[in-house]
Amino acid sequence: MIALAIGIAFGFCLERAGLGDSRKLSGQFYFTDFTVLKVMFSAIVTAALGAFWLARLGVLDLAGVYVPETYLLPQLAGGLLFGAGFVAAGLCPGTSCVAAASGRGDGLMVVLGMFAGVAVTGLAFAPLRHFYESTARGPLTFPQLLHVPYGVVVFAVVALALATFAAAERWERRA
């Protein structure tokens, strides 16, 4: 199926980038290795530009692509927690699978930990439910929020990325 093929390509790219290595990933948070930032932001820019232009040229039906829904508070809180767990584990859900697949023992531990965390959260869901469902905004995008054209936001993302990359390169050279 397409899901499998895409997953294989996904995992391949992640491993190629070195994101299966927890030590490398954690370097992001100690300002020694900016690979995480470079890979993620490059991917975002590529896909955002690609999606915009393919849609603009009529090749892709952008409205038919599922946009993740916005839940302001849960995603803020979830993000903070996720980041904390990330710097401890040195791997995220996707890269932990890649790490485990490469034979790394700590990758497997992160996979197991994630599974445990998710399972426990599911079992203890009742007290979280109200918070979980709060501040829903639907598939809200920045063009809608700021009332600016889609292309303007795409430009802003590209500009931000290029500026960030320049800064990261300078920082790495200093380290």
Partner 1 sequence: MSEALTSAPLPRERERVAEGRVRARAYSDPYLAGTALGLVLLASFALAGRGLGASGAFTTLAAKVTNSPDLHQSSWLLLEIAGVVIGGFASALLARRLRFTAVKASRATIAFGGGAVMGLGAVLARGCTSGLALTGGALLSVGSWLFMIAAFIGGYVLAPLLRRAWR
Partner 2 sequence: MRRALAIVAATGGVLALLAGSPYPLDVQRLATAVAREDDHVTAVELAAWLRGRKPGLRIIDLRTPAEFNDFHLPRAENVAIDALPSTPFRSDETIVLVSAAGGHAAQGWVFLQALGHRNVYFLRGGVQEWTEALKQPAIGRYFGGARRRDGC
Residue 162 in contact with partner 1, rule: CB under 8 A: no
Q: Could you say which of 138, 167, 171, 175 contacts partner 2 (CB under 8 A)? A: 138
- Cα-Cα-Cα-Cα torsion 102, 34, 86, 114, nearest 10 degrees, comes to -30
Contact by Cβ (8 Å): 92, 113: no
Nearer to partner 2, 55 or 114 (CB): 55
The dihedrals phi and psi of 68, each to the nearest 5 degrees, come to -55, 145
Task: Indicate the DSSP class of residue 60.
Answer: S
Answer yes or no whether residue 158 interacts with partner 1 by CB under 8 A: no
The least distance separating partner 2 from the CB of residue 133, rounded to whole angstroms, comes to 16
Cα 92 from chain centroid (whole Å): 9
Binding site for partner 2 (CB under 8 A): 42, 45-46, 49, 51-53, 55-56, 58, 61-67, 69, 137-141, 144-145, 147, 149-152, 154-155, 157-159, 161-162, 165
